[in-house]
Amino acid sequence: MIQLLRVDHRLLHGQVAVSWVGGLGSDCIFCVGDHVANDPVWKTTLKLGKPAGCKLVIKDMAHAIEAINSGVTDKYRMVICVQTIAEAKQLIDGCPAIKSLNLGNTKASDTTRQVSRQIFLEPEEEQMLRELVDRGIEVEIRPLADDPKVDVSTVL
pLDDT digits (tens, 9 = 90+) for 2-22: 999 999 999 998 888 889 999
Instruction: Give the other-Cβ count within 10 Å of 61's Cβ.
Output: 17
DSSP one-letter code for 56:
E
Please list, residue by residue across 92-115, b when 16 or more beta carbons sit within 10 angstroms of its beta carbon and e when fewer do: beebeebeebbbbbbeeeeebeeb
What pLDDT sits at residue 132?
A: 98
What pLDDT sits at residue 70?
A: 97
Prediction pTM value: 0.96
pLDDT, tens only, 91-104: 999 999 999 999 99
Q: How far is CA 34 from CA 39, 43, 75, 82, 86, in A?
A: 9, 12, 24, 10, 12
Percent of the chain residues past pLDDT 90, beyond the cut: 94
pLDDT at 151 over 90: yes
What pLDDT sits at residue 139?
A: 98
The pair phi, psi for residue 73, each rounded to 5°, is -90, -5
The CA dihedral of 2, 135, 94, 11, to the nearest 10 degrees, is -50
Average pLDDT over residues 43-67: 95
